[in-house]
């Protein structure tokens, strides 16, 4: 009798699990998205977001941001990264089919507070292989110990050094960045233009953080569907990153800067990302000023979905490859 009850319980559990999978499959089909992207979104709902406004958490971040970055052994041994020209804060990976035609100068995300984790290096490896590009990653100093002016000084120096001392022409450089790194990429391009420095071939902004004030009311509409970012928590990190600068200074919020005069740009984003509100604003500004910026908007996708192991990520990478190939 007990054995029969156990068998019935197992059968009931299996039936319920199968029904849940079927339900998710139907939902994914109804929303025209992959089931894996839906499952990742559901999982992320249960992961708590770090709140740096908490005194203890802030102090821990302050101590961590003072420490020099060390390349993880897995990034070195598994994904093939190593120090670029013996620089201890800048790393490089090359594609199998060397020599590569282009160099991607990649500015990583993390709200200006976090160093790249192993998921980043796995993504960079995939990017290098898919695009047959060398990837150079400057791991810039982090808030709250450092601010925007420290960060810009470092990435600008690394960019100019790449051109002046390593036989890399600006015409072969693609500046790319995600999230905070996407905002940093646009701000850096504006600095290069304003200082009459060599501009890169093109740029890619992935789910970029364009306005650290997070004051766009459209964010409030997206917030309930974004399990990754929080408006108030992120705005606090942005204010700390700004340091002595006004939060609307183009160095930290490039959407307020002069937008013309930049190389061709592509923007990739999902609609379930609070930053999507400012990306729409940026899209409208580009259209009003007749700027050469391509927007690839993925419905019902999350912040930086391009780094997830989902079919939509591969589609986004194909679009990047196409935009690179189509630029004459």
* CA dist 27 → 118, 219, 316 (Å): 31, 25, 22
Which residue's entry shows tokens 């499952």? 39
pLDDT at 193: 98
For the entire predicted model, the pTM comes to 0.93
Which domains does the chain possess? Answer: 47-326 (3.40.50.1820)
- Residue 8's CB is within 10 A of a number of other CB atoms, namely 10
Identify the pLDDT of residue 100. 78
pLDDT of residue 19: 47
- DSSP state string for 32-68: TS-HHHHHHHHHHTTSPPP-TTSHHHHHHHHHHHTSP
The C-alpha atoms of residue 99 and residue 324 are separated, in whole angstroms, by 17
Q: What is the pLDDT of residue 159?
A: 98
pLDDT at 24: 64
Q: Per-residue confidence of the chain (328 residues) as pLDDT tens digits? A: 455 554 444 444 444 344 456 666 677 777 889 999 999 999 999 999 899 999 999 999 999 999 999 999 999 999 999 999 999 999 999 988 777 789 999 999 999 999 999 999 999 999 999 999 999 999 999 999 999 999 999 999 999 999 999 989 999 999 999 999 999 999 999 999 999 999 999 999 999 999 999 999 999 999 999 999 999 999 999 999 999 999 999 999 999 999 999 999 999 999 999 999 999 999 999 999 999 999 999 999 999 999 999 999 999 999 999 999 888 6
Q: What does the alpha-carbon distance between residue 167 and residue 163 come to, in Å, rounded to a whole number?
A: 6
Q: What is the secondary structure of 57-98 as a DSSP string?
A: HHHHHHHHHTSPP---HHHHHTT--EEGGG-TTEEEE--SSP
């Amino acid at each position: 009798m007990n054995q029969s009850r156990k068998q019935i319980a197992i059968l009931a559990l299996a039936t319920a699990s199968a029904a849940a999978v079927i339900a998710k499959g139907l939902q994914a089909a109804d929303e025209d998205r992959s089931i894996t992207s839906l499952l990742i979104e559901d999982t992320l709902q249960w992961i708590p977001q770090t709140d740096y406004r908490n005194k203890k958490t802030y102090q821990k971040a302050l101590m961590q941001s003072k420490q020099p970055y060390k390349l993880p052994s897995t990034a070195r041994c598994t994904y093939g990264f190593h120090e670029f020209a013996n620089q201890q804060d800048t790393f490089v990976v090359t594609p199998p089919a060397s020599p590569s035609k282009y160099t991607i100068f990649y500015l990583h995300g993390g709200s200006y507070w976090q160093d790249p984790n192993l998921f980043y290096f796995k993504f960079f490896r995939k990017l290098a292989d898919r695009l047959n590009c060398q990837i150079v990653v400057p791991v810039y100093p982090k808030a709250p110990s450092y601010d925007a002016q420290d960060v810009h000084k470092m990435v600008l120096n690394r960019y100019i050094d790449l051109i002046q001392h390593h036989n890399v022409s600006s015409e072969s450089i693609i500046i790319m960045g995600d999230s905070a790194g996407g905002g940093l990429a646009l701000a850096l391009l504006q600095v290069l233009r304003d200082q009459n420095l060599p501009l890169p071939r093109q740029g890619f902004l992935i789910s970029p953080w364009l306005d650290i004030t997070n004051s766009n009311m459209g964010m409030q509409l997206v917030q309930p569907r974004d399990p990754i970012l929080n408006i108030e928590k992120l705005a606090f990190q942005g204010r700390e990153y700004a340091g002595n600068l006004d939060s609307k200074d183009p160095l930290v919020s490039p959407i307020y800067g002069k937008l013309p005069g930049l190389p061709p740009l592509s923007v990739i984003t999902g609609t379930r990302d609070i930053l999507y509100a400012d990306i729409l604003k940026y899209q409208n500004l580009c259209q009003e000023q007749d700027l050469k910026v391509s927007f690839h908007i993925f419905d019902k996708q999350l912040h930086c979905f391009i780094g997830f192991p989902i079919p939509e990520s591969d589609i986004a990478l194909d679009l990047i490859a196409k935009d690179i190939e189509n630029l004459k």
